[in-house]
Structure 1
Amino acid sequence: MPDSPRLARVATLLLLFVTAVWGSTFFLIRDLVVSVPPADFLAVRFAIAALVMGAVFRRQTLALSRRDVRLGVGLGVLYGLAQVLQTVGLQHTDASVSGFVTGTYVVLTPVLGALLLRDRVDGVTWVAVLLTTAGLAVLSLRGLAVGYGEGVTLASAVLYAGHIIVLGRWSTPRAAVGLATVQAAVIAVVAAVAAVPGGLTLPSGGGQWASVLYMALVAGAAALWAQTWAQAHLTATRAAIVMAMEPVFAAFFAVLLGGESATARLLLGGGLVVASMYLVELRGMLSRRRLRGATAAEDPPVEALHHDV
């Protein structure tokens, strides 16, 4: 955690920028995977990101300890599997819906923290879980069945939540650059393994390659570094709340640039999901205020101490 509030603010703003960049990729990926299989696209995307990061951050990567390398490999496997599932899901659902379903990692993060790390989950968080479930039902249910795309995307959200928890608990600012580089390389390997059965299909045409390069360098290399650094200065739950804006950005770009419609179903379901995310944030704000109030009550002013002497 940071020693000063200023670092926390910088980390929050940086993570918000990353979230906006991620949100801009949903409709690009959906268009791209029409002709390029998801695993193939991810293998190319993160191979480019890993090569660039390895060249730029070679010294920092070689300086990693064995513990940091093992952590980077584990994080890369989690993130790589999540990316594969999310991209497969995008073949079967709208980019805006995918963004909202992916965004459930905001609520899943504290829940998984309670299950895996025995963090306490209060009543407000459980209310947020119910709101999220209701929002997902509106977005995803087709009669009494959940759409395949939404189900696969929800599985990716669980993995993203695990990635956030591990990154927030064990990453350090010193190792952030090297960790991000190791993660990019491992993600490329995970995607390449998934692509092996059908052979590797490369993007074709300037438009597809421009999209891949944007997602490799900006939404891949730069975003991985920024997220890893920012989460070394923020708690896992706080980071997840900041990233609650991802589905909002995803829907915004999908409607503005991706040709999707702002339907009543999208607005209602997405609104419930976003409401659940910010309910968790409100709970955190109130908890911090109560903590500051309790600390102030326990520590009397210096003037009062002097008066008693």
Structure 2
Amino acid sequence: MKNSTRTFLADGGILLAAALWGVGFGVLKDVLDYLPPFTLLVLRFLPGGVLLGLFFLRRFRETGWDDLRDGALVGLLLFGGFACQTTGLQWTTAGKQAFLTATYVLLVPFFSWGIHRAFPGGRVFAASGICLAGMSLLTLRGASGINLGDGLTLVSAVFFAGHLMAVERFTRRRDPLVLASLQMVVLGLCALPFALFERPDLGGIPLRGWIGFGYMLLFCTIGAFALQNLAQKYTPSTHAALLFSTEALFGAASGVLLLGETFTPPMATGAALMMGAILLVELPIPFLRKGPSPETRS
């Protein structure tokens, strides 16, 4: 298969994962009414990692200590992101947090530049800035000031940027599905000590809560993270970060279509800017350097 075709399919996989997470945003808000955050992380990621591992059990036959080490690292980075984000949401708004989390779109190109010693390209930085501006219009409505929750959210963005970079690097030398399974198990185990203090009432969860949880487990956890790891083997993390930012766009669209929320003109402008940022990277523009392809990086 040609590299361009692989990259195209990988981009499609990332967009599908972003769509699953975006639609799941409203579902997550509902599920959190019945399950506390760390308990939800344990119930999502421990069974998710085990189920994915059992489904692709043959791929684990050659798993060694190096695979376990890399899986533990990406799992720790992902846990750091979710832990800071979940805790920070207690002191900030969901829309403001969505914007601050999206700052990983700008962090990833800088991390990539520092690690790979290769300039990601002018269009990547331009697209990242445009995307962040679009995200602000899409998510920030009446937000002001910086508080503890905002600070924790910015820390989570650093973890998520590191996670994207680690997945890009490790999927070149590890089985992407094995890595996805291991990171889920590690995240669930890290969340377990915190969940023990939450004491949720599992018997009081209504049917709609369990249906929402089922969606989170099957589509937002097993499906989306498997797609991410498979796709990032064939596309650079700078590119992936832009595509994953459409999670907010899909979330806003699902809110309008499924929940009857209002899609305001500033939100429409923000969505257009985000799509323009993606096209800036996807379409050939001679005077803007795109940067090295994923196959040429170390």
TM-score (normalised: structure 2)? 0.80
Aligned to 1:248: 249
Contact 1:47 1:184 in 2 (8 A): yes
Contact 2:121 2:289 in 1 (8 A): no
Q: How far has the Cα of 1:5 moved from its partner?
A: 2.5
CA deviations 1:65-112 (Å, max 9, x no partner) are 221211111001111221233344555666555444433323321122
Aligned to 1:301: none
Work out the CA distance in 2 between the residues paired with 1:290 and 1:77. Answer: 29
Answer with 167-176 or 115-124: which moved more: 115-124
Aligned to 1:34: 33
Where do residues 107-146 of structure 1 align in structure 2 (5 Å cutoff)? Answer: 107-120=106-119, 125-127=124-126, 131=130, 139-140=139-140, 145-146=145-146
Aligned to 1:295: none
Work out the CA distance in 2 between the residues paired with 1:26 and 1:220. Answer: 12
Q: Percent identity, aligned pairs only?
A: 29
**How many residues matched?**
291
Larger Rg, first or second structure (1 or 2):
1
Aligned to 1:218: 219
Give structure 1 stretches of 5+ with no counterpart.
Answer: 293-309
Where do residues 141-156 of structure 1 align in structure 2 (5 Å cutoff)? Answer: 145-146=145-146, 149-156=149-156
SS at 2:63 equivalent: coil
CA deviations 1:29-82 (Å, max 9, x no partner) are 122223422111111111221221232223323422221211111001111221
**Which residue type is aligned with residue 195 of structure 2?**
A
**Which residue type is aligned with residue 156 of structure 1?**
S
RMSD of aligned residue pairs (Cα, Å): 3.5
Answer with 181-190 or 129-138: which moved more: 129-138
Answer with 199-208 or 140-149: which moved more: 140-149
Aligned to 1:66: 65
**Which residue type is aligned with residue 236 of structure 2?**
T
Aligned to 2:296: none
Q: 1:237 to 1:267 in 2, by over 3 A?
A: same
Contact 1:61 1:181 in 2 (8 A): no
Q: How far has the Cα of 1:182 moved from its partner?
A: 0.4
Where do residues 62-101 of structure 1 align in structure 2 (5 Å cutoff)? Answer: 62-90=61-89, 98-101=97-100
Where do residues 258-297 of structure 1 align in structure 2 (5 Å cutoff)? Answer: 258-263=259-264, 266-267=267-268, 279=280
TM-score (normalised: structure 1)? 0.78
Q: 1:72 to 1:201 in 2, by over 3 A?
A: farther
Contact 2:74 2:183 in 1 (8 A): yes
Aligned to 2:232: 231
Q: How far has the Cα of 1:150 moved from its partner?
A: 4.8
CA deviations 1:104-154 (Å, max 9, x no partner) are 323321122224443425555555565566567665586751365554433
